[in-house]
Every structure is written in structure tokens, then in C-alpha cells.
Amino acid sequence: MKDAVLAAHELRKSFKAPRRPPVEAVRGVSMEVRGGEIFGFLGPNGAGKTTTLRMLTTLLPIDSGVATVAGYDVQRSAQQVRTRIGYVSQLGGSDELATGRENLVLQGRLYGDDTSTVRRRVAELIELLELEAFADRRVITYSGGQRRRLDVALGIVHAPKVLFLDEPSTGLDPQNRANLWSHIAALRDRGTTVFLTTHYLEEADELCDRLMIIDHGVIVAEGAPRELKRQIAGDTVLLSVREQDHTAQRAEQRLRTQPYVRELSAEGTTLRLYVEEGASAMIEILRLLDGDGIGIQSLTVAEPTLDDVFLRQTGRSLRDAGQRPETEKRRA
């Protein structure tokens, strides 16, 4: 990929454990991230997301493999990489006894810019991330959402080419999460490449331009959220017919022979159809059943979620990690 700002090839990392075989946290991860996109790294807790991220951000030595970020080799030119990336860890890491502005100015100064340049840039950031109301209070007084926005500001104070966010919305309520998402999207729109890890399906789905799903240190799927969901799962259509002399059986027989229906299962008056593309299938179904005089009670298309993708690839549900998937539903 020509315009890749981040490329990794066969990254591996294992951790030694006393009197046990070493834990292979990352087992051959390769990826390419394009400039100006939000790239998501989705997987359950312990899948190797943070380990990969920390190797890419120079914080963790790489066992084997090569990674290039912003044009520089992560291992051989760590210092060059550091000046061009921002990293916001799960913990944030701001100084609680300092104000938000003080934190930002120090961080900017550590990247080598002079005080007046940094102060100007910090004032812009405070406006951009809407920190005005609390920027001059000590961080210890901040709410979770305020703190998170400051953390992001700390990560971009030097206008990095690539911003790494490790589980940015963990612990935020839905409102603050949505707010953070809009800020992250705005950063992308201003030209920053964003690389984020998440175990929230909605976050990966709504925020990311492209994503990669990782499980047990191995990449199991890669692509745009839409593509991923289509190529692996198709759509599910739920059809409920009016109960009149065996309408359900008649509908089942008719639909089973249609080319767009991959699979079908029936339960009472409800039919569950697995189709290539939900919206167009619904029109076909409506036409077909209407022509046969079968009354329709309801017709719903349930788009597959990223959880279905994960399930197909790993045999496990991301839900097991304690997440509730939001099934997108459209009423016909």
C-alpha cells in the first residue's frame, strides 16, 4: 500500500512467566494503515491489542517482525517515531495535581517546542476539545469524560501524524462516549490518522473506517466494518405471517426455492431467512408473498453485527467478554 502511514509485518511478542511456558501474546500480526483513516483494532480483553499497540509506539521491545510508523522503523529509529506519534493509554496518565493546561504545556514542551508556540497550540486544543470550562482546574477534580478529553488532547499536543488510542471510551457513559467519538472523527477529518483499540462493537462499527479483528494474538478478519459484515454473515430477515390455513408452511415452501435465500428456518408463524442483502431481499419477499395472497404481519431485516463476524471466525461471541451487542434493526 503506497499511502500507508503504518505498516507492520509478522509482529510477535511473548512474555516469560515463572515456571510456565512463555505466553505468546501476539503471534504474527501484519497490518497496513492508510493516512487519514480511523483504523480499529477490535478484540476481546487479552487478545493482544494493547501489546501490539505498545510495540508500535516504541514502549515495548519487539521479539520478531518489523514495524514502520510515519516512515520510520519502530525499533531502529524509535526517537523519530516518538516525535511523530501520539499515544493515549487506557490509564491516561495526566498529572492529577496539575491543571489541564499545565499538563498540556509540559507535554508540548517535552516534544521540543518553545513555550510561546506550545501555549498557542494548547489554547487551540482547549477550544477544539472543548476543555475551556475546566482547563485551569486541577485534574483531580475532573469527571471521567473531562479527563478522557484531556488525555486525548495530551496525545495530540504536538500535532502527531498518527494518534494511538488504547480503549478510548472504556468507562465512559453513552453520552460521553458519543461526544468522544465525534471529537475523534473530527481529528480524522483534520488529517490525523487514528489507530484505536476497542472491545466495543459499536465503537468499531460506527467510528472506524477500517478494522482488524484480533483473537489470541492472531488476526482473524480485516476490512471496512460494512464489508466484513457482508462478506461473512449476510443479512438476516425475520418474517412473521398472518395465521390462516397453513400460511407459514406455504410461505416456507415458496421462499426456500428463491435464489437469494441462503438458509431458512421456521418457528411457528415466524420465518428466519439468511440472505445476501437484506434490503433487496425484503422487496422480493413482499412481492412474492403478496402475489400468493399470504398476509404479512411484520418483516424486519436485522443486519449482522461485528459480533456475528467474530463468532463465525472464532466460534465465540465477543459478548462473552461482557459486552452487549447492539443489533441494528430496520423496520420494513
Partner 1 sequence: MRTPRDIALLYQRYFVQMLRNPVWLAVGFSTPLLYLALFTPLLKHIAVSAGLPGSNVLDGFLPGILALLAFASGSGLGFSTIFELRTGVTERLRVTPASRFAILVGPILASMTLMFVFDAVLVAAGAAFGFEVHWLGLAVLAVLLGLLMVTMGAFSIATALLTKEISGFAAIINGINLPVLLLAGVLLPISIGPFWMRVLAHFNPLYYLVAASRLLATGHFSGHQVWQAFAVLLPLCALVLAWATRVFRRAVA
Q: How far is the CB of 74 from partner 1 (least distance, A)?
A: 12
- Alpha-carbon span 193 to 130, nearest angstrom: 21
C-alpha cell belonging to residue 275: 440472505
Q: How far is the CB of 92 from partner 1 (least distance, A)?
A: 5
3-state secondary structure of 86: strand
Q: Is 61 in the site for partner 1 (CB under 8 A)?
A: yes
Q: Is 57 in the site for partner 1 (CB under 8 A)?
A: yes
Q: How far is the CB of 61 from partner 1 (least distance, A)?
A: 7
How does DSSP classify residue 234? -
**How many CB atoms lie under 10 A from the CB of residue 241?**
23
Stretch that binds partner 1, among 24-32, 67-75, 95-103, 178-186 (CB under 8 A): 95-103
3-state helix, strand, coil in the chain (%, to 5): 40, 30, 30
Amino acid identity, residue 166? D
Nearer to partner 1, 3 or 73 (CB): 73
Question: Which of 46, 63, 71, 111 touches partner 1 (CB under 8 A)?
Answer: 111
Place of cell 462478506: 231
Residue 318 near residue 201, CB atoms below 8 Å: yes
How does DSSP classify residue 318? G
Q: Is 110 in the site for partner 1 (CB under 8 A)?
A: yes
Window 75-94: residues binding partner 1 (CB under 8 A): 79, 82-83, 85, 87, 89-94
3-state secondary structure of 20: strand
Question: Which of 4, 7, 66, 98 touches partner 1 (CB under 8 A)?
Answer: 98
Q: Is 171 in the site for partner 1 (CB under 8 A)?
A: no
Nearer to partner 1, 25 or 271 (CB): 25
Q: Is 159 in the site for partner 1 (CB under 8 A)?
A: no
Closest listed residue to residue 214, CA positions, set 74, 58, 50: 50
- Interaction site with partner 1 (CB under 8 A): 57-61, 79, 82-83, 85, 87, 89-98, 102, 106-107, 109-112, 138, 154
